[in-house]
Structure 1
Amino acid sequence: MITIPLPGNHSPLSNLISYSVSPLYEMAASLYTLAQETPPERFAYWTEEKLEQFESARLLKEWGYFVPLFRYGIPDSFDPLHTKGVMAVDDQYEYFVTLPTDHFMRSIKPILEEWILHHDAPEVAFDLEEDADYVKGRFSLFVSSYWQLFFEANWEAIAPKFVREAERIYYSLQGIESLTTYLQSISPAITYDTETHRLTCPSNGPSYDAHHLILYPSYYYAQEPTLTKKGWNAHLLFSISEGPTQPKTPS
């Protein structure tokens, strides 16, 4: 059980509930969706179109090289809290160039380990052992190319959806009732305990109090809501185009 103590009547909810949107993270979410063996129905045509574009741009082989880093998750190096100001291609390139290699390795390690549980070890895994800096540089060039050639136009088209979602979040923070209604539109499993003044959400593992709930609305993440614990915060990733479901939590 994850619980989030809410403030009293005279303290703004925005002190404990916030949201973060990052074009770079949304780009990574699109690669996560693209990497699925069976794409979500609403992205079936989009996936087919993107793979054809990759082939035309001679990026299909390079994409195949990096698929293992996206099939089972979104690398933490794209976390919206750290990348929300990273937009232009130059900003993206600088971000990955200055990103410590050990941080890059930690962000992809659990995803790669999950891949190896289901498939043979991929080429990228061997290259990471031999020269992680080389892989990080190659990764940076790929995501920069993907942004320039394909995703920038996608982002401009979907950006208004995030503006509307930000408005929904803003109005939900006007009171406990409106906040609860909003969160339950994401997942009915999230409830408010009127006696303890806490938001509660079922989760695997031991119970803990989170100091802050950070909402990650996403268009290209088309899976069920995912609740994760990062430090003292709870992070809720959810699709802004899907109906309410039970959030999953890491085991």
Structure 2
Amino acid sequence: MTTRSIGRRDGEVQAENIFASAPSNRNLEKFQNHGCKTTHCNLQVVKNCTFLFLATKPYILPAVLQQMAPAVTPKHVVISMAAGVSLQSLEELLPAGTKVLRVMLNLPCEVQSGAILLAQGSCAGEQDVALLKRLLSPCGLVEEAPESYLDIHTGLSGSGVAYVYTFAEALAEGAVKMGMPGDMAYKMAAQTLLGGAKMILETGEHPAVLRSAVCTPGGTTIHALHELEKGTLRATVMNAVEAATTRARELGKR
């Protein structure tokens, strides 16, 4: 968890009920500042908690699981946030029958506007999925999907935030070029992206339909869109999602 999302604002999860483990105090300081329990012993967390969130680098995870395994019982639900480590690999390193889920988040979870995708292992049930969704829902949109979608989600939403920031920067600097002050341009660019995204989610309309609603014959928007098409914006973005997804799959095979 990040410093902004420790505990639930609605009070359902209190900070004192969160037990965090990390090798160094530097990684635990933010939890301590918010009133969470902390330790350097992973087994201590396993023995005192039911929902176990694993937020480690993928190459470290097998060693952590081997350390935890002797204390894991049927009551535990293990949730991995590590990219590329499959449900099958997780289940093989834990006692038979362990309930395992994978979850992939993105940076805007810090401001409760994230895009979160989860996949359940062979022994996890719908009740486990429902509870995890409820726990994560204050962080943003939470959806369940087949595990094969998680790498795509990395390319779309995990890395995609960087694409959005790049576009926001270019959008604002276009306005600066035309004479608008930078501070105002960046605020307006951000609000434009926020409003456009909200309309997609709330209306359920295809983006192409909403785009057409902005265009008028011979108007400013259609002229601007023509310039974007000259720069192959859509093809470039699609290629970016493909490249990030492919890289996520490669990392998962290591």
Structure of greater Rg: 2
| TM-score over 0.5 for the pair | no
Q: TM-score by structure 1 length? A: 0.25
By relative contact order (CA 8 Å, sep 6+), the higher-ranking structure is 1
